[in-house]
């Protein structure tokens, strides 16, 4: 049997197992990163789970936004630069994993400042009916009280 690197498999490709008519599906590995932040996750039963694949071209960005639930993302190619509500910047290269802040106080933006496309796979844990993200004003225009 030919050995195949599972990272390059697509969901439609299958691997034969011991037995003449048995076929085992091989999952496609979409993202693989190292978690460097604590992940607190308490979700009610019936929570929405969504997976998104982002491609940001060189010089492109995601506008100021926030998430109403927990988001964990892996940078699969390129370098992600996030600007947080306090003005600090977080740079995450390929293979890095981020945990997004929750709620309006966690407003942030994402940029690709590199010459190559940026690819991110994000896993969202949200309450039913919540959007994946909500656009927001830049933090200097937001009054926190």
Q: For the sheet containing 34-35, what is the strand order? A: 34-35, 96-100, 70-77, 118-126, 48-56
> Where is pLDDT greater, at 145 or 62?
62
By CB atoms closer than 10 A (0-12, 13-18, 19+), residue 88 is exposed
Contact status, residue 116 vs residue 68, Cβ threshold 8 Å: no
Lowest mean pLDDT among 10-19, 82-91, 93-102, 119-128: 10-19
Q: pLDDT value at position 19? A: 53
What is the mean pLDDT of the segment spanning 63-87?
A: 95
Element (H, E) at 134: strand 134-135
């Amino acid at each position: 049997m030919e050995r195949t690197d599972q990272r390059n498999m697509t969901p439609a490709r299958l691997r034969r197992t011991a037995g003449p008519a048995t076929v085992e599906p091989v999952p496609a590995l979409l993202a693989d990163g190292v978690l460097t932040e604590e992940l607190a996750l308490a979700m009610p039963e019936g929570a929405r789970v969504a997976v998104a694949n982002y491609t940001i071209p060189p010089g492109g960005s995601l506008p100021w936004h926030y998430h109403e639930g927990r988001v964990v993302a892996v940078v699969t190619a390129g370098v992600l630069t996030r600007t947080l509500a306090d003005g600090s910047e977080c740079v995450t290269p390929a293979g890095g994993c981020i945990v997004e802040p929750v709620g309006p106080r966690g407003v942030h933006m994402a940029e690709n400042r590199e010459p190559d496309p940026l690819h991110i796979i994000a896993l969202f844990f949200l309450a039913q009916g919540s959007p994946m993200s909500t656009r927001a004003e830049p933090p200097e225009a937001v009054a926190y009280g």
